Structure 1
Amino acid sequence: MKFQNYILGILIVGLLFSCASSSKLSSQGEQKEKLSHIIESKNFEIEVNWALPFTTVSLQNVFNALAPIGSTAGRINLMGFSSFLKMKGDTISANLPYYGERQMGGGYNTRDSGINFETAPDDLKIEYNDEKNRYELSFSAEQGTEDYRVNMVVLPNLNSYINVNSSQRFSIRYEGKIKELREE
């Protein structure tokens, strides 16, 4: 009798786990569909919540005295700031704060110290990576005399990662969430 109860218990637990995993798969499929719709519409915004600069000794020394609450030199909290990368049709615009060191060129004025551009890139690539279950986007942009190479990864859970390589600054990475833009 004990053996039968033991077997029955294992079957019930197995049934519960199989039901949970199928609903999880269904949910993942819905997330993937939603993401596909957002990316293919080319009408989205990535709201940036974190900046992850290339941390050098100089940046570490300066940042220790100036760090916002909840931040370190390698991970800066941007929640509450208007930091974004938007795509509307064939136009991509960005307003991203920059933390890091300049390698050359440019001034240290406070007006255009961030990564700000609005462009219609002719080298935009949007690909879905089946192996990694994610979208990968890349393009080039420029702001004055500075050139940027932007690579983005967007996951089905809507988490987004933006890597910006610059001709005049050390690279920086941003993390945020993608969302569909509302019609105005």
Structure 2
Amino acid sequence: MLKNRYIYLLTLLIVLLYSCASTSRRSTADPDMEALGERLGSRSYEIQATWAFPLMNQGITQVANSGLLMPGSNANRIDLMGNSNYFRVEGDSVLINLPYFGERQIGGGYGNTDVGINFEGVPLSYELKKEEKQDRFTAEIRVRDEIETLVINLFLFPSGKADINVNSTHRSSIRYTGDLQPVKKE
């Protein structure tokens, strides 16, 4: 009787372990991933940022404590609703106009009123990769303007969501989330 009980428990344990296994990964021929790959491969896409996530530091905390942020925003998550911004890739060119919240370690020049992340031109490098395990594409883009060098990592998902991580030689890092869209013709 005791032996039958152990066999029953062992069988139950094996069945439970197999039933708890993760579901199989989606096929690499997923139509959403293929459509995203075609859009990114044509180098004609735009990301509209909806949230900014600055690196927490004393300056950002002081701004948040002063009450200067919009309602719904806090020191580590800032709502960009109503803020005109974009990260656009058109052929060989990259056009960036993103607001910046954070600390600048090296000055931007005397009388410089351009405090956002702005760039228009051909990047130093553009590398696009498909990540099968995370069901996303990543792009690493390096740009240099007259003041600083930026390393931008894009994480692009079939759902149309996108993350932008910006690392600068002169500023603290910042991350944005937003929506992937076709390029708007102006």
TM-score (norm 1): 0.79
Is the alpha carbon distance of 1:77 and 1:132 closer, same or farther for their aligned partners in structure 2, counting shifts above 3 Å? Answer: same
Cα distance in 1, alignment partners of residues 84 and 108 from structure 2: 23
**Does residue 48 in structure 1 map to residue 49 in structure 2?**
yes
Q: Which residue, 121, 140, 163 being the options, matches 1:119?
A: 121
Which has more helix, going by share of residues? 1
Residue identity opposite 2:94 in structure 1:
I
Equivalent residue, structure 1, for 2:18: none
Is the alpha carbon distance of 1:108 and 1:29 closer, same or farther for their aligned partners in structure 2, counting shifts above 3 Å? Answer: farther
Cα distance in 2, alignment partners of residues 146 and 84 from structure 1: 19
What does residue range 12-161 of structure 1 map to in structure 2 within 5 Å?
29-65=30-66, 66-107=68-109, 109=111, 111-161=113-163
Q: Which runs of 4+ in 1 moved over 4 A?
A: 107-110
Q: Report sequence identity in percent.
A: 36
Q: Which residue, 169, 181, 184 being the options, matches 2:183?
A: 181
Q: Which has the larger radius of gyration?
A: 2
The number of residue pairs the alignment matches comes to 160
TM-score (norm 2): 0.79
- Displacement of 1:35 in angstroms is 1.2
Root mean square deviation, CA, Å: 2.2
Cα distance in 2, alignment partners of residues 74 and 103 from structure 1: 19
